[in-house]
Amino acid sequence: MKNLFKSVVAAFIILMSLSSQAQTKSTSLENSLLWEISGKGLSKTSYLYGTIHMICSEDYFLSEKVKKAFDVSDKLVLEINLADPKELADAQQMAMGKETLDKTLTPDQLSKLEAILKSRTGLSVQQVNSYSLTTVMSLVLMKSFKCTDLKFYEMEFIAKAKERGMEVAGFESIKAQIAIFEKAYTNDEMLKMFEDMNETEAANTVSQYKKEHIQDVYNSLTDIKIMNSLAKNEMLDKRNANWVQNLPNIVKEQSAFIAVGAAHLAGDLGVINLLRKAGYTVKPIMK
């Protein structure tokens, strides 16, 4: 578990990228992870990229069109500015529970957690007792990938940004993200979500992602079994709206490369449609 904190940061973001099929009917999007933002008086083109956050090294890819868009951008914008030491310090601090799990969970919940941990990670509740339930669930999520060598898209982009001396910014803080997640789910709902999670679903999502089938990725990451109306509103709708509201200040004078979870892009209340409604021209970059 020596890489726990680094992995948990990425896994937190994946948790926040889940959404619900119980949305209004939406128009399918073209098969592209990269989108161009222009119009509405912008002096420079900006780019929107959908990530899967973490992926096995053998499946990791970054197409030439993405590299080109990144290279002509002035700043990198992520869900969380993971280049900020304070955010990483906050992530480490919040990975620990306010109380141990055996004090915060009921006997039935502890039993369910023990079963999940043993089957997915080989660990016991006692070994992770000092961590928060969100941290432990993030670890379980990591283990749904059939590999030990994981790559994190946000970390890769940050490394490239540092090489260029490129500005890095974030839409949210890690504290805000975790607060949203904890508000959206009860402990029972969180345990149920991870009981239902399996390696096949993770593999299917990765396959769709590699093909840039953004609508299929969206559908795979959106399951009504996972999210009730409260969670959908807190984790998806509000966040997308907030990001789009803050976007004018980000793209007004500079070209931004904006990388967020791919599930945020599609849907009537997704970032692409909200940007179009706000008057921007948003087009897929196919090559």
Ordered DSSP codes for 98-140 = SS-HHHHS-HHHHHHHHHHHHHHTS--GGGGTTB-HHHHHHHH
In the prediction, which pLDDT does 53 show? 80
Query: Is 70 exceeded by the pLDDT of residue 19?
Result: no
Query: How large is the average pLDDT for residues 27-38?
Result: 91
Query: How large is the average pLDDT for residues 13-20?
Result: 52
Query: How large is the average pLDDT for residues 272-283?
Result: 96
In the prediction, which pLDDT does 267 show? 83
pTM of the model as a whole = 0.88
Query: Bigger pLDDT: 61 or 183?
Result: 61
- Tens of pLDDT along 114-133? 999 999 889 999 999 999 99
Model confidence band, residue 65 (pLDDT cutoffs 50, 70, 90): very high
Query: How large is the average pLDDT for residues 168-183?
Result: 90
Among residues 5, 20, 27, 8, which one has the least CA distance to residue 214?
Answer: 27
Question: Rounded to an integer, what distance in angstroms lies between the CA atom of residue 194 and that of residue 271?
Answer: 27
What percent of the chain shows pLDDT beyond 90? 52
Question: Rounded to an integer, what distance in angstroms lies between the CA atom of residue 144 and that of residue 146?
Answer: 6
Among residues 133, 127, 108, which one has the least CA distance to residue 12?
Answer: 133
Residue type, 100: T
Q: What is the residue-averaged pLDDT of the chain? A: 86
Query: Bigger pLDDT: 108 or 16?
Result: 108
Question: Rounded to an integer, what distance in angstroms lies between the CA atom of residue 58 and that of residue 165?
Answer: 28
Query: Bigger pLDDT: 64 or 184?
Result: 64
Q: What φ, ψ does residue 80 adopt, rounded to 5°?
A: -125, 140
Question: Rounded to an integer, what distance in angstroms lies between the CA atom of residue 234 and that of residue 19?
Answer: 10
What distances in angstroms separate CA 90 from CA 85, 142, 177, 261, one per listed residue? 9, 20, 12, 21
Query: Bigger pLDDT: 22 or 36?
Result: 36
In the prediction, which pLDDT does 57 show? 94
Beta strand segments in the chain, E: 34-38, 46-51, 54-56, 75-80, 150-152, 167-172, 256-261, 281-284
Query: Is 80 exceeded by the pLDDT of residue 264?
Result: yes
Question: Rounded to an integer, what distance in angstroms lies between the CA atom of residue 253 and that of residue 118?
Answer: 52
